Structure 1
């Protein structure tokens, strides 16, 4: 699988920087609206779309965390590097000091903590004693 070893949350991180620095758009700009059955109007902003994409990719990252091997470890380390880079950008760059980026930063933290926790938990179940077949529960 090609997705192993590549932190998928790098995609919304790059999109945020493209929107903020190249297009110089705001994250409160309405992209499209929905007319709800209740009569209310739902305005979907650029920041909302970015966070929806981030949550969907977080789901895939959590699924990837259940795999074993060296690529899995590399994937966790790259996710941690992405979290640190996003944290530094949030603290040091003025255009990253938005609530959208803060929620994205929390999603990155959940990816790192969840990935390591799931891997440790799954590895604890993969315990074998020399000379005996593994016990499957």
Structure 2
């Protein structure tokens, strides 16, 4: 079941829960740390959502390397998610932000990488004639 699931949906849901449902501003500071250099590192909600999305994208790309037939279904669901993200970005209040645009672009990278990796894997695995 996990092979079918587009994990980028987790990033979209995290954005929806944090920003749209709970009303947390993207600029809200979540963490302040003084670094040994004397600089202060500040983590905002927007940066946290993008960090989570980047980690999720890594796992999606790792999932795309699977040569199983279920990966094609996963790529299709990822494409549906990308289209939904694009429509949500355009038409749903609270989602028309730079942060959500980057999450949408990450879902596009997931789609392109998934299909590209599948094609390259299939091409590499294809054999012709007698292989003795």
Q: How far apart, in 2, do the equivalents of 1:32 and 1:17 lie? A: 21
TM-score (norm 2): 0.93
Alignment check: 8 A CA contact 2:5 2:74 kept: yes
The answer for the alignment partner of 1:18 in structure 2 is 17
Q: CA deviation at 1:52?
A: 0.6
Q: CA deviation at 1:111?
A: 0.7
The answer for the alignment partner of 2:41 in structure 1 is 42
1:1-12, aligned counterparts within 5 Å? 2-12=1-11
1:70-81, aligned counterparts within 5 Å? 70-81=69-80
1:14-68 deviation line (CA, Å, top 9, x unaligned): 1111112221111110111121122111110111111111111111111111111
The answer for the alignment partner of 1:33 in structure 2 is 32
CA RMSD across the alignment: 1.3
**2:94 is paired with a residue of what secondary structure?**
helix
Aligned length: 132
Q: CA deviation at 1:77?
A: 0.6
TM-score (norm 1): 0.90
Alignment check: 8 A CA contact 2:61 2:113 kept: yes
The answer for the alignment partner of 2:112 in structure 1 is 113
Work out whether 1:89 is the aligned partner of 2:125. Answer: no
Q: CA deviation at 1:102?
A: 1.1
Q: How far apart, in 2, do the equivalents of 1:36 and 1:10 lie? A: 34
Q: Which runs of 5+ in 1 are unaligned?
A: none
Q: How far apart, in 1, do the equivalents of 2:27 and 2:118 lie? A: 37
